[in-house]
Amino acid sequence: MEELILTSIAIGIKSVIFIIGMFLLAAYLTWIERKFAGHVQQRPGPLHVGWHGLLQPIADALKVLTKEDIVPSGVDKVLFYLASLLAFVPAIMILAVVPFGQPVNLFGFEIKPYITDLNVGLILALAFGSISIYGVIFAGWASNSKYPMIGGLRKAAVLIGYEVALGFAMVGPIMQAGTFSLKGIVEAQQGLWFIIPNILGFVVILFAILAETGRTPFDVQEAEAELVSGYNTEYSAMKFGLFPLAEWYIATFVLSAIAVILFFGGWNGPHIFGPISPFVWFFLKLAMMFMFFLWVHWTLPRYRVDQITELAWKVMLPLSLLNILVVAIWIMIFG
Amino acid sequence: MSWISLEKATALKEKFNYIDVAESNGYVSVEVPKDKLISFLQFLKEDPDYAFKMFIDLTVIDHGQKENPRFQGVIILYSPEYKERIIVKSWATEETLPTLTNLWSGAKWAEREAWDMFGIKFEGHDNLVRMFMWEGYPYHPLRKDFPIRGIEDVELPSLNEVERGDQLEGLFNYSRMHTALPTLEDLEKTQKARMPKKKSQIVLNWGPLHPGTHGTIWFLFDLDGEYVQQCDIIIGQLHRGVEKIAENIGYQQFIPYTDRMDYIASINENHAYVVAAEKLLGIHDKVPPKAKWIRTMMAELSRINSHLLWLGTYALDLGALTMFLYTFREREKIMDILEGITGARFTINYFRIGGVFADLPAGALEAIEHFLKDFPERINDYENLLTRNRIWLKRNKDVCVLTEEDVYDYGLTGAVARASGVPYDVRKIDSYDMYDEVDFDIPVGEVGDSYDRYLVRMEEMRQSAKIIQQCIEKLRNDFTPDDPYFLEPEDPKKLKLSIDGRGLKLPQGEVYASTDNPRGELGFYIYNKKAAIKPHRVRIRSGAFYNLQVFTKAIIGRPIADAITLLSTIDPVVGETDR
């Protein structure tokens, strides 16, 4: 009993730290994105608020929080409020199963840099990812307006395709590691990273993450040229702010973390940074993944929605199945 | 000049004894009775010796209340085979004319506009609604009896008076009366009139303010899922009655109004008007060659400027956000050059009837040359990012194909026509200013899809750079700063030509002159009853107006996302469509 209480308190503290950390991180991911986009576009990006615009995210957050929160009269109020929460909460809940490193001994305590290590961690992450999509669809429906509705429906169409491909693409690493636990998968990659036989799966996952997080070239649900702003057209203030925060930053970050864990050996790497070496490696890989998505976002035009679903069903799904076959043969040969 | 010869037009008389052929400084027009108009036009369109297949313009002249019949329809046609134009006129007795829509679909909007502006009914038109004004607007503004300041018949008191009870009577020219304004019911009626029958699930409105339309256009899409079943466009939110203003203002003073039409390529707008006025005066050949070279160079610079904005916003609409800033980097350089030469960055009025208003400043040629030095490289950069990009290809290839037939049928001009394989370029056909002395090619597309329209515009930028290079060499080698840049008339008493244009009279007659705007053929039809300081009627044939019209046809059956692609490749500017 005593142990249960202690564990609960430990998990509680850890959760608070994770959530606050994620908020701060997400805020600074917006700064990174804006700087990145700025330099891609040959302009400096945020520059005036703080040193090189470092206080810009805080200014933005203050702005979004103090804006008037307008709820249009024709909306379905319950779903309208629920939608922004449903988009945000599940995205951050995925963090519960994402490990950021091995347990370390600090001042005599064993500190685990993850909240829990479930043996169905990956499935839980996928499930939370799928729930967060309801936010977008609810937002589209509850706004009682045509642009959000088309945006929400588009997102639904895209996600039905890519959820399937995403699930199948993750089968390869799971087969090799023999576990759904994310920590277990990392530990199985001590030697060779799973990217080697799973290259097809990795490609599918890259596309799927772009589609799930609604980044260009798959940002049809908020194609501003035709749908004004898509599913969040009727939203304002912080309710509006939660959507991009959840989709573009938290979801992208968390899904990048999962991709790194599945294919790039998580925190595995040469111990050249001393005791913090696993964290450094993990965050370096994560940053590379995140930057890759930014790079794609700020370079490419966007697909049409029918082309995206076509791509999902006709290319990505077969590729992910082929990946399973390749991995199966790999396991048969190399064990 | 690309006009039908008097002999050829007179030869028509053998077959149609009821026509009258008239000529005014080279512009041959044929007058046909109203009841014979359609059969005569059909002959012109289908006869292999004439083959006036392409519809250019339709408008109406109001001859004044005292005249009977009062209104005259004017139709301008073009023959692609013989490269010549013709004006066909017909008196609109009883304020009606037969519709041309069975011969050319492009007449649909032009007839709506004529109904809107003059109150001429077109018999047989399938949905004759107003073009610019809202349904329920009681007047026809381009009629001569409509005053230029409008009819103030709506009481619209100031909010200060209504809310706070301020007594404003007698202050600051305060008047409670106002010209008519559309109410919400009026707008609903307008929308209903445009699309009387819904074909499928939802009607999606784009605009009047929408990020995808780049201006105040109001689109109505009847959507079946994502696919468009029916479409119409309500324009007129930016209608300022430029044609009405032209009738009430001196010739030289009208130039600043033209650059507020197509504000992206204001120099080209000035150019068209100036060329038309010069042709009516008969001085276009006498304008100093230096002025002509400068005008050619500036027009092409402005074309590059306009195409860069097009490319940036086009890519932006298709999701490639970065392209926008890349093209604006180059555009900024051109803007700086234009500012240095003309004194303005955006609404430039540099050209005058008779030349330009100031010589090139010292160093202008060097600045342009410096810009041109790395410009081809920049276009290659843009093409590297887009042309072979798989997503770009998927979004543009085989999207909204416009055929050669469509070009003639709808009177499409500019890059839209050229992408459909019609080498229609007024610069080559009319060779105004110095275009017959410079060497350049007309890029022509093969399929007529959005991708071809993209490629044609990209190549046009390269060709424009080539023209500018030639102009620079000419200006540098053949002219000194002492050469005149403005025409000094031989007899200043007869022709009061000056830069401010005071007292400038234009002779009696009519002229249709056009230039190749970045957005299509921009034509000015000027009709003068007698020599006067104000024109009797100025009709602006807007390329963007006619090009936009084909949108309603080409989008049918396409997903809504293609509407963006099509609109961007047609590239209308609302200032010019609405005028």
Output DSSP code: residue B260.
Answer: T
**How far apart are alpha carbons A173 and A205 in whole angstroms?**
12
Q: B391, A217: Cβ pair inside 8 Å?
A: yes
Residue where a domain terminates, one of B70, B103, B123: B123
Could you tell me the residue range of the domain that residue B68 belongs to?
A: 6-123
**How far apart are alpha carbons B297 and B307 in whole angstroms?**
15
Q: Which residues of A touch B206 (CB under 8 A)?
A: 226
Of B202, B385, B394, the CB nearest to A146: B202
Smallest CA–CA distance from A228 into chain B, residue: B211
Of A40, A150, A301, the CB nearest to B391: A301
Q: A305, B561: Cβ pair inside 8 Å?
A: yes
Query: Does residue B220 form part of some domain?
Result: no
* Chain A contacts to B (CB-CB under 8 A): 37, 40-43, 146-147, 150, 154, 216-217, 219-220, 223-226, 228, 298-307
Query: Does residue B204 form part of some domain?
Result: no
Interface test with B, best of A226, A300, A309 (most B CBs within 10 A): A226
Helical residues (DSSP H) of B282-353, grouped into ranges? 289-317, 321-342
Query: Does residue B396 form part of some domain?
Result: yes
Contact between B66 and B74 (Cβ < 8 Å): no
The CATH number of whichever domain residue B497 belongs to comes to 1.10.645.10
**How far apart are alpha carbons A334 and B121 in whole angstroms?**
84
Strand partners, B129: none
Interface test with A, best of B378, B383, B391 (most A CBs within 10 A): B391
**How far apart are alpha carbons B211 and B351 in whole angstroms?**
33
Contact between B549 and B106 (Cβ < 8 Å): yes
How many other C-beta atoms can be found within 10 angstroms of the C-beta atom of residue B384? 10
**How far apart are alpha carbons A298 and B320 in whole angstroms?**
7
Of A41, A150, A304, the CB nearest to B322: A41
pLDDT score for A108? 67
Query: Does residue B156 form part of some domain?
Result: no
Residue where a domain terminates, one of B108, B123, B138: B123
Using a cut of 0.90, tell me whether the model's pTM lies above it: no
Reading the block at residue B29, the tokens are: 């027009």
Q: Which residues of A touch B210 (CB under 8 A)?
A: 228
| Dihedral angle over CA of B107, B109, B110, B111, nearest 10 | 80
Residue where a domain terminates, one of B93, B123, B153: B123
Contact between B229 and B199 (Cβ < 8 Å): yes
Q: Which residues of A touch B319 (CB under 8 A)?
A: 216-217, 219, 223, 225, 300-302
Query: Does residue B232 form part of some domain?
Result: no
Q: A216, B319: Cβ pair inside 8 Å?
A: yes
Q: Nearest-CA neighbor of B207 among B237, B162, B249, B229?
A: B237
Nearest Cα of chain A lies from the Cα of B320 at a distance, in angstroms, of: 4
**How far apart are alpha carbons B556 and A243 in whole angstroms?**
34
Q: Please report the number of interchain residue pairs, chain A to chain B, with beta-carbon separation below 8 angstroms.
A: 84
Query: Does residue B566 form part of some domain?
Result: yes
Query: Does residue B160 form part of some domain?
Result: no
Output DSSP code: residue A247.
Answer: I
pLDDT averaged over 10-residue windows placed end to end, chain B, 579 residues: 77 81 82 86 84 88 85 88 87 85 88 89 86 87 86 83 77 80 87 83 82 82 86 87 87 86 88 88 85 90 91 87 88 90 87 86 89 90 88 88 89 89 86 86 88 90 91 88 82 75 79 87 88 86 89 88 88 86
Q: Which residues of A touch B559 (CB under 8 A)?
A: 304-306
Instruction: Give all strands of the β-sheet with B227-234 in edge-to-edge order.
Output: B202-206, B218-224, B227-234
Reading the block at residue A97, the tokens are: 């199963």
Q: Which residues of A touch B329 (CB under 8 A)?
A: 42
Sequence-distant (≥ 6) Cβ neighbours of residue B118 within 8 angstroms:
B60, B62, B71, B140, B142, B143
Query: Does residue B138 form part of some domain?
Result: no
Check: complex ipTM more than 0.95? no
> Which amino acid, one-letter code, is at A312?
A
Question: φ, ψ for residue B287 (rounded to 5)?
Answer: -60, 135
The CATH number of whichever domain residue B82 belongs to comes to 3.30.460.80
Q: Which residues of B touch A220 (CB under 8 A)?
A: 561
Residues of chain A with pLDDT under 50: none
Mind listing the pLDDT tens digit for each residue in A65-98? 888 888 888 888 888 888 888 888 888 888 888 8
Nearest Cα of chain B lies from the Cα of A44 at a distance, in angstroms, of: 12
When divided into structural domains, chain B yields a total of 2
pLDDT score for B304? 92
* Region label for B512, one of left (φ > 0), alpha (ψ between -120 and 50) or beta (otherwise): beta
Nearest Cα of chain A lies from the Cα of B462 at a distance, in angstroms, of: 23
